[in-house]
Structures are given as C-alpha cells and as structure tokens.
Amino acid sequence: MKTFIIKFLLARLNKDERHQILTEAVKNLYNTIAEDDILNQAINGEWSYMNKTISPTEQKLLIAEARVFTETKLWKVLRTDIRYQANKKMFTHSKQIEDLIAGKFILWTLDIIKTRLASLVEKQSGKFNTKNTGS
C-alpha cells in the first residue's frame, strides 16, 4: 500500500520535483550531496556553500587560499604522486579492466580538483568551470 501511494504521488510531479523529493528522502540514509551543498555562484554573482551565502570577504579569502595552495610545493608533490599512482594502477599492476577504470577515476578526481582551483584562481568564480585544465 505504501508503495502504491508513493508511486501515485510521484507520478503527479515533474522530473525536477521528483528528484528534489527523492534526494531529500534518502539524504539521511546515504551520503548525498546536492548542487546546493557545493560552492556555487548564482546569476546575480552571489556565492553560496552548504545553502549559506558567502560574504565578499569570505570569497576573497577562498580565492587567496586557492592561489596560495596551487603555488605550494606540496600541491606539486601531491599532483605528481597522484598521477604516478594512477599510472601504476593502470599500467603496471593492472590485471583486469576494472584496474584501468580505477586509475582513470583517480585521474578524473585530480582533474576535478585542478578545475575547481583554476576556477577560483584564474576566473575568481564560484562556478565550477567545466573547461579541462590539462595536466
């Protein structure tokens, strides 16, 4: 009976409303992170993180931290090590296709971090720049 009621109610909602309700429903069961939870920039230029507005002072601080981080020796060491570990996983220790996929996921994660940092430093934007930043 519960399933019928849920299906009946969900059928009357549009795709976005269903997605929002289902995401909220499973939020406590799973580690769900929605678009509102990440650093975002609205059309009017206002930044938000975890559904809270970020002040212009905090924006400048985030940009400065990103700039400093990208210029550190630690970032260069970590970036090189991550690429090495991914290549080792894909080419040296690979025994099956999943090992290759795992290595690609590692490189993809590194690219996400680099792209977010580049968006902050180069564009001074709270938006996630989807442009590939290269290695």
Per-residue pLDDT averaged across 15-44, rounded? 81
56-65 long-range contacts, Cβ below 8 Å, gap at least 24? 59/126, 62/120, 63/120, 63/121, 63/124
- Residue whose C-alpha is closest to residue 70's, from 29, 32, 27, 122: 122
Q: Where are the domains of the chain?
A: 1-32, 37-135
Asked whether residue 69 carries a pLDDT value surpassing 80, the answer given is: yes
Q: Considering the entire predicted model, what is its pTM?
A: 0.71
pLDDT for 86 beyond 70: yes
pLDDT-wise least confident of 24-28, 64-68, 88-92: 24-28
CA distance 24 to 29: 10
- Position 72 scores a pLDDT of 97
- The order of strands in the sheet holding 40-41 is 40-41, 47-49, 52-54
